[in-house]
Structure 1
Amino acid sequence: MSNAEVVDGPSPVAGRRRRRVVLTVLAVVLVAAAVLIVRPIVRPALPPLPAKADAIIQLGGPGNRRMTALELGRAGRAPVVAISVSEAELAVAGWCDDGNFRGQPVICFHSEPFTTRGEARSIAQLARQHGWHSVILVTSTDQAARAVLRVGRCYDGSIYVATAHLPWYHWPVQVVYQAAAFVKAYTFQRSC
């Protein structure tokens, strides 16, 4: 009988290899998931805008959305611009009261909850009230694909998207926020 110890189980070399393989597979899965989630946030596939729609709808959020929506309205892309406003904004936006902003017919609406999902529900309700069959959503690039997903769950008409400029300093936070919001929209909140 020898004095050498008998070691049961895998060798330290085999354990390091297995750990390296697991970490490599995990890294590949995480990179693939990031690419699948980030792609529609950074470069969403959007159809071209129609010459005319029934309404232009500005969603709430960062970026120069209101100016983009009103420019589309002045260009004759739709007879009315609907603007999603916060509760505080609704209270002080006097131009919402008369339904006109610098000659452009506007409808201001506040959604409860004040989220993309809440806005989608409000858009469906406005579309039923006004007979809209096609809308142009105005949002920023990062929210465009998710906005189409959310609104499409509540509204049966044609949905187009015009994107407003989002300043570079908003992008890091928005990519993380939108990625989490996409996961929520595809897992926990799958209905209108």
Structure 2
Amino acid sequence: MLTHMIRKWRNRIPIAAAVALIGFLGLTARYFVWPSLPVVPPHIDAIVELAGPGDDDRDRLATELAREHRAEYLVQSTLQSDADSGRCLPAEPGVTVLCFHPDPDTTRGEAEAIGRMARQYGWHSVVIVTTADHAWRARLRVTRCFPGQVYVATSHLPPLYWFRQIPYQWAASGKAVLVQKNC
């Protein structure tokens, strides 16, 4: 009888592992590869580029949105030295360009800074510019600190970054959902 039970479980373990792997891959695809995001409207109050991997493409996308006159403000999260020196995204006619360095230097710090700037400048809607792997968590963090509409525009993430970013995003998202539940 014991031998029969062991065989029965031995046959079920690979099936359970396959189901768990498929579930993990499905959730990874849904939240970090192809996140479901609201469509960015033609006009929002601010375009906010978050820091992180793929900065060049984030810069390109944020600047492109500003050139389309989607917002009155173009904001970039940057290094402290860049924020202090005023080195930021290039000026766009009719668009106010701002730089900030978050404290703490994390997505949570960026969300807190967005909330403060929104109160200061009277924003009711923002579009966050980041990569697809970061989009879900960034939107979650910002909605906790900013009561207005939050949209996300995703830029390209270089292929080699995916291997590092997926495990990182799982860990950081777990922390955001289970541990750091407020702004």
TM range (shorter): 0.7 to 0.9
Q: 2:91: which partner in 1?
A: 101
Distance 1:101 1:87 in 2: 19
Q: Give the aligned partner of residue 31 of structure 2.
A: 40
Report what 1:140 is aligned to: 131
Q: How many residues align?
A: 180
**C-alpha RMSD of the superposition:** 2.1
Report sequence identity in percent.
43
Equivalent residue letter for 1:137: I
Larger Rg: 1
Pick aligned residue for 2:79 from 61, 86, 94: 86
Deviations 1:106-157 (A, max 9, x none): 1101111111111111101100000000101111111111111111111110
- How far residue 159 of structure 1 moved from its aligned partner, in angstroms, is 0.8
Partner of 2:179: 188
CA distance in 2, matches of 1:21, 1:48: 43
- Aligned twin of 1:119: 110
Aligned to 1:25: 16
Does the CA-based 8 Å contact 2:30-2:36 persist in structure 1?
A: no
CA apart distance, 1:77:
0.3
Mapped partners of 2:63, 2:40: distance in 1: 15
Pairing 1:10–2:10 present:
no
Instruction: Choose the corresponding residue for 2:45, options 54, 66, 87.
Output: 54
**1:56 and 1:78 in contact (8 A); partners too:** yes
Q: 2:156 aligns with which of 161, 165, 169?
A: 165
SS in 2 for 1:107: strand
**Within 2, Cα distance between the matches of 1:37 and 1:180?**
12
Deviation digits for residues 65-91 of structure 1 (CA, Å, limit 9, x no counterpart): 112111111110001101101224334
3-state SS in 2 of match to 1:101: coil
